[in-house]
Structure 1
Amino acid sequence: MSLTDTSKSANCSAMSDVLNRIGDKWSVMVVGILSYSGTIRFNELKRSINGVSQRMLTLTLRNLERDGLVTRTIYPEVPPRVEYGLTELGKTLTGPISELWDWSAQHHATIIDARTIYDARQSAVTAETPRKIAYARG
């Protein structure tokens, strides 16, 4: 499948469905950490991902497991030990995610500069445009 196939409804639906799962930042972070660390326990994973709440990490892991990208292994110990790892399908995402991380690191400063220029231009346009005031009739 290629970008030329986007006119087909099934292809668009497939792309949308997959991007809804792997396109959110927590899923990308989880897959990235698991690809780097291998099998890891929940709390180690949580410590590795700055800013993720326990609830959001739990939901993300469940969704990734449901989609066949992550495995969850429970060991019958006291206290129970739970480890997460990538499935074979999940491992196929490591290349694209690694490329995205590298691209982000390489271009982040340029993107920040572009945002600053854009915001300054928008502020100048807003300052030049007189504000319209709406009055309520009463």
Structure 2
Amino acid sequence: MPGFTCGLDATLRVIAGKWKPLILYFLAQGGPIRYGALRRAVRGVSDKMLIQQLKELETDGLVKRTDYKEIPPRVDYSLTPLGLSLAEALVPLCIWGTENMAEVTRVFALREALNGKIR
């Protein structure tokens, strides 16, 4: 495996993917979360992708999956201490997004309008 060029490189490899930061965000909101509640919170993700991303986060030691071995099946997800520390590191990005949401919305609308003219 190649080494990391810096700490940001290591972090980005761990959270690579559209859904992982959102999964970490919602798991950090407190307490274990059942799959269905997490699926509703992370809007737009497919079951296949959510399951894949959760498995990767679990493999990377960021998420803990608890299977209660019940019928009907009951499984929930929570953050490990490593996952919680990463979720806490994402807080400044959340704050930035909240503070700049109007500008980011404007920029994306402009980008979309420009892309429509190029085609």
Which TM bucket (shorter chain)? 0.7 to 0.9
Structure 1 residue 116, shift from structure 2 partner: 5.4
Separation in 2, partners of 1:40, 1:58:
14
Sequence identity of aligned pairs in percent? Answer: 34
Q: Which amino acid aligns with 2:15?
A: I
The alignment of Structure 1 onto Structure 2 pairs a total of residues equal to: 117
Greater fraction helix: 1
Q: Comparing 30-39 with 113-122, which one deviates more in the overlay?
A: 113-122
Find the counterpart in structure 2 of residue 51 from structure 1: 44
Give the TM-score normalised by structure 1. 0.71
Normalising to structure 2: TM-score of the pair?
0.81
Deviations 1:70-115 (A, max 9, x none): 0001112111211100001001012222221111111121233345
Whether the 8 Å CA contact 2:34–2:76 is kept in 1: the answer is yes
Secondary structure at the counterpart of residue 38 of structure 1: coil
Question: Residues 69 and 123 from structure 1, CA distance in 2 versus in 1: closer, same or farther, beyond 3 angstroms?
Answer: closer
Tell which structure's C-alpha radius of gyration is larger: 1
Is 2:75 aligned against 1:91?
Answer: no
Tell me, yes or no, if structure 1 residue 19 matches structure 2 residue 12. Answer: yes
Q: How does 1:1-138 map to 2 (within 5 A)?
A: 10-12=3-5, 15-115=8-108
Take 1:73 and 1:122, find their aligned partners in 2: how far apart are those partners?
45
What one-letter code is carried by the residue in structure 2 that aligns with 1:43?
G
Helix, strand or coil: the match of 2:90? helix
Question: Which of structures 1 and 2 has the larger relative contact order (alpha carbons within 8 angstroms, sep 6+)?
Answer: 2
Give me the whole-angstrom Cα distance separating, in 2, the residues matched to 1:31 and 1:115: 24
Instruction: Provide the alpha-carbon RMSD of the alignment.
Output: 2.7
List alignment gaps of at least 5 residues for structure 1: 1-8, 127-138
Q: Mind listing any 5+ residue stretches in structure 2 that lack a counterpart?
A: none
Q: Describe the SS at the equivalent of 2:57.
A: helix
